[in-house]
């Protein structure tokens, strides 16, 4: 609902300034990851003007953009079903790990609407061919299919979910925070660049990273056979 959208936006906006953050975990409480829009809110939108609905939709658009653009990786701990806008939260995450029992659907068409605001992120994640089929049918699909089309990166048994998420976090904890951010930026941007743009952008980035404090520390640690200064001990997920 509107309150959750505003609270998530505030949380991710605050987290965006934490430069030493290795990752943020996004998950649901209870049996579902996110069942989509609150029914009461959906009923209220029908009584609003188109202009008022535009304002409401733009808040969700701002949330999706903020999560997607978070400098550090977002790990989606998909603990159950994700419908409608809930899939948008997964699509804006960098790493998504789902339980085998999770079910997914772009159910908007069953309510006479469409997955409009989340579509830029979903189409980029699963591709046009899968989006064209799933957006128009609203059919439910399995975690295995979500894995096959690229919506999630791993599917695990329920009792292994926390271990799988922690394993991903441990990998991130072994990586340098600023290098992680650079890697995310590369993955999100280089495919849309021309050759000349990518040539200069990537060369400038690696030159900067090599001479950065992290770059010098990483090379020194490797040559000296020791852990780099940024490496931290694995910790349990902070909820």
The catalytic residues are 108
Transcribe the chain into DSSP letters.
Answer: -HHHHHHHHHHHHHHTT-TT---EEEE-SSS-SB--S-HHHHHHHTTS-HHHHHHHHHHHHHHHHHHHT-SS-EEEEE-S-EETHHHHHHHTSSEEEEETT-EEE-GGGGGT---TTTHHHHHHHH-HHHHHHHHHH---EEHHHHHHTTS-SEEE-GGGHHHHHHHHHHHHHTS-HHHHHHHHHHHHHGGGS-HHHHHHHHHHHHHHHHHSHHHHHHHHHHHTTS--TT---------
Beta-bridge partner residues of 78 = 98
Distance between CA atoms of residues 233 and 161, nearest Å: 20
- Give me 179's structure tokens: 């290098």
């Amino acid at each position: 609902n509107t309150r959750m959208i505003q609270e998530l936006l505030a949380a991710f906006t605050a987290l965006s300034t934490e430069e030493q953050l290795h990752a943020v975990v996004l998950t649901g409480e209870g049996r579902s990851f996110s069942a989509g829009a609150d029914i009461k809110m959906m009923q209220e939108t029908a009584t609003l003007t188109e202009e008022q609905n535009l304002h409401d939709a733009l808040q969700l658009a701002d949330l999706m953009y903020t999560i997607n653009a978070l400098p550090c990786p977002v790990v989606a701990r998909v603990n159950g079903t994700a419908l409608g806008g809930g899939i948008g939260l997964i699509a804006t995450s960098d790493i998504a790990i789902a339980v085998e029992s999770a079910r997914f659907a772009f159910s908007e068409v069953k309510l006479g609407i469409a997955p409009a605001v989340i579509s830029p992120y979903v189409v980029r994640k699963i591709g046009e061919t899968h989006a064209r089929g799933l957006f128009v049918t609203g059919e439910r699909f399995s975690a295995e299919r979500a894995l096959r089309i690229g919506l999630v990166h791993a599917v695990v048994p329920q009792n292994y979910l926390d271990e799988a998420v922690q394993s991903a976090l441990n990998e991130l904890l072994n990586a340098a925070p600023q290098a992680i951010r650079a890697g995310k930026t590369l993955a999100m941007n280089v495919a849309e660049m021309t050759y000349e743009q990518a040539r200069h952008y990537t060369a400038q980035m690696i030159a900067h990273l090599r001479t950065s404090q992290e770059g010098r520390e990483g090379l020194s640690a490797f040559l000296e056979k020791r852990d780099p200064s940024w490496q931290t001990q694995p910790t349990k997920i902070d909820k």
